[in-house]
Amino acid sequence: MDLIPSFAIDHMKLLPGVYVSRVDAVGEDFVTTFDIRMKRPNREPAVHPNALHTLEHLVATFLRNDPEWKDRIVYWGPMGCLTGNYLLVKGRPSPEEIAPLLIRAFKSVVSWEGPVPGARPRECGNAILHDLAMAKWEAARYVKVLEENPCFGYPQ
């Protein structure tokens, strides 16, 4: 079986940031998959599942309500390794175009007050797997990464 391209990236060199993971043609359109890397793989602790689940709910809600981007958002969800998320967007936007949207999204998590959207048992498959305080901490940390050095290209 062929190794998929994302496993060919040297994860020991990978830094937090925003990367284009792949671009797929869908008919005459494209879908761009972004690697929203929040942690250094194998070098620092992963995002706790409770925090990552809360980030999933809050960031997905923000992205799907953003006036400029909502019609282009296909998917937002966590990586299995718990070091970040995937963002799938219609078209071929660059990481530089996506970074300001992500900064706004993660800042919205930092300032979030009230219940987490979609986190009640009738709305969520694991309603007890949430941690708003830790999600805010992780979001603030990632905003700093995006504002200081968003690493737009995979390491060689």
Output the domain CATH number for residue 110.
Answer: 3.30.1360.80
> For the residues 123-137, what does the mean pLDDT come to?
98
100-125, pLDDT tens digit by residue? 999 999 999 999 999 999 999 999 99
pLDDT (0 to 100) of residue 153: 80
Domain of 82 in residue numbering reads as 14-145
Sign for the pseudo-dihedral over CA of 48, 54, 58, 60:
positive
| 49 assigned to some structural domain | yes
pLDDT > 70 in the chain, percent = 99
Position 26 in a domain: yes
Q: pLDDT tens digits for 62-102?
A: 999 999 999 999 999 999 999 999 999 999 999 999 999 99
Reported as a pLDDT band with limits 50, 70 and 90, residue 30 is very high
Task: Give the pair of three-digit tokens for residue 113.
Answer: 């007050």
Query: Is residue 97 in a domain?
Result: yes
Is 19 among the domain residues?
Answer: yes
The DSSP result for 12-79, as a single string, is TT--SEEEEEEEEEETTEEEEEEEEE-S-TTTSPPPPHHHHHHHHHHHHHHHTT-TTTTTTEEEEEE-
Instruction: For residue 85, give the H/E element and its range.
Output: strand 84-90
Total domains present in the chain: 1
Mean pLDDT of 24-37: 96
Inside any domain, residue 2: no
Q: Is residue 1 part of a domain?
A: no
- Within a domain: 8: no
Q: pLDDT grade, residue 156 (50/70/90)?
A: low
pLDDT tens digits for 39-64? 999 999 999 999 999 999 999 999 99
136 found inside a domain: yes
- CA 52, CA 1: separation in Å to the nearest integer? 31
Categorize the per-residue pLDDT at 2 as very low, low, confident or very high, splitting at 50, 70 and 90.
Answer: confident
Given a contact cutoff of 8 angstroms between Cβ atoms, the answer to whether 144 and 138 are in contact is no
What number of other Cβ atoms are within 10 A of residue 36's Cβ? 27
